[in-house]
A = this chain, B = another copy of it.
Amino acid sequence: MRPMRISDIGEFGLIQRLAQRVTQAGVASSPPGSAFPLVIGIGDDTAAWRTSASLELCTTDTVVEGVHFTQETTPWKDLGWKVMVANLSDIAAMGGTPLYALVTLGLPQSTPVAAVDDLYDGMAWACQEHGCVVAGGDIVRSPIFFVTIALNGYTHETPLRRSAARPGDLVAVTGPLGGSRGGLEVMLRGLSVEPEAADSLRRAHRHPQPRLREGRILVEEGVLAAMDISDGLTDDLGKLMAASGAAARLETWRVPLPPALERAFPGQARSLALAGGEDYELLFTAPPAVMERVLARLPGSAMVGQVVAGEPGSVVMTDEKGQELPFRPTGWDHFRS
């Protein structure tokens, strides 16, 4: 039997189906007693919620099939999880709390309905885990598949900024890096890696965690500068420094590595950790006294360098002897040929 396609049920059949799905998952309306209750959810021209005096946050993130993922490496449900997490991670990078998501789907007519069901299950799963709600969206026909989420959140504190790093700050990350990239390499290259390590890296690629709790702890302890690591540490550190008008020394040997990455890629683990993206750990800077308090509260985190005066955006990498490394691994520019 041919699987049911989007063209079989039409736009309204599809909207009804997906609305039902997020309702059943308990992520179509705000919880009772919410401080920001959802007044209008799926099915009207806009979503609406009541606000009190706070700082409203809004972010958006998109994945395009063939550019950001393939079906071979990311099943639909994991894709739904990942695109929601990419947005949650941006809210985490401000020290905020997520509230309401609008989901835009660009779908070819031949898309199997089961694929969209799975995608929504993955998004609903991320919403369940992190207390946010699917409040609406838009579905459009498209020759290629893409998903865009716009996610609103809030904070009552001073949000973490990319522009707030200052010379004298220490640089740190909330957890080990390179696992997602390692998982991708294992899958794409079909490497023969011990099964337990391979599983662990695949999971890192398909099921990353947004560091919402960690972001709020950073704010509580007085950290001012942070961003999430989506494009790779060296690249994102360069962006953080560019936004702050400062430079950084990155002590590459201090970057924490997932044990599975070291087992699977004995000689390459460190460069995968420096260049690989999509781990969604937070990158932050703070004066030493603040950093000490943060590291004590977040045992998974690690100091990896210093902010220094210098060419804005430049990053010098050093090895354990303090020697400058001769090259800088290039990050992702999605457009340069």
Contacts and interface: CB of A to CB of B under 8 A. Distances in A.
Interface residues of A, number: 75
Contacts of A62: 104, 106, 138, 140, 148
Contacts of A58: 46-48, 58, 100, 102, 135-136, 150, 152
A142 B63 CA distance: 9
B161 A44 contact: yes
B60 A94 contact: no
Contacts of A51: 51-56, 154
- Copies of this chain, complex-wide, total 2
A144 interface: yes
Interface in A34-64: 36, 39-40, 43-64
A228 interface: yes
Interface string A87-112: 00011011010001010101101000
B148 A45 contact: no
A232 interface: no
Identify the interface centre among A46, A51, A57, A138: most chain B CB within 10 Å of its CB: A46
A142 B144 contact: yes
Contacts of A337: 7, 109
A144 B144 contact: yes
A12 interface: yes
A139 to B, nearest CB: 8
A53 B55 contact: no
A149 to B, nearest CB: 9
Interface in A64-123: 64, 66-68, 90-91, 93-94, 96, 100, 102, 104, 106-107, 109
11 contacts: A7-B336, A46-B91, A48-B56, A48-B155, A51-B55, A58-B135, A62-B104, A62-B140, A63-B140, A148-B150, A150-B150
Given A44-B163, A150-B150, 4 more contacts: A45-B91, A50-B56, A106-B146, A142-B146
Across the A-B interface, the 6 shortest Cβ-Cβ residue pairs: A150-B150, A46-B59, A45-B93, A45-B90, A51-B51, A7-B337
Interface of A: 6-7, 9-12, 14, 36, 39-40, 43-64, 66-68, 90-91, 93-94, 96, 100, 102, 104, 106-107, 109, 135-144, 146, 148, 150, 152-155, 159, 161-163, 227-228, 243, 333-337
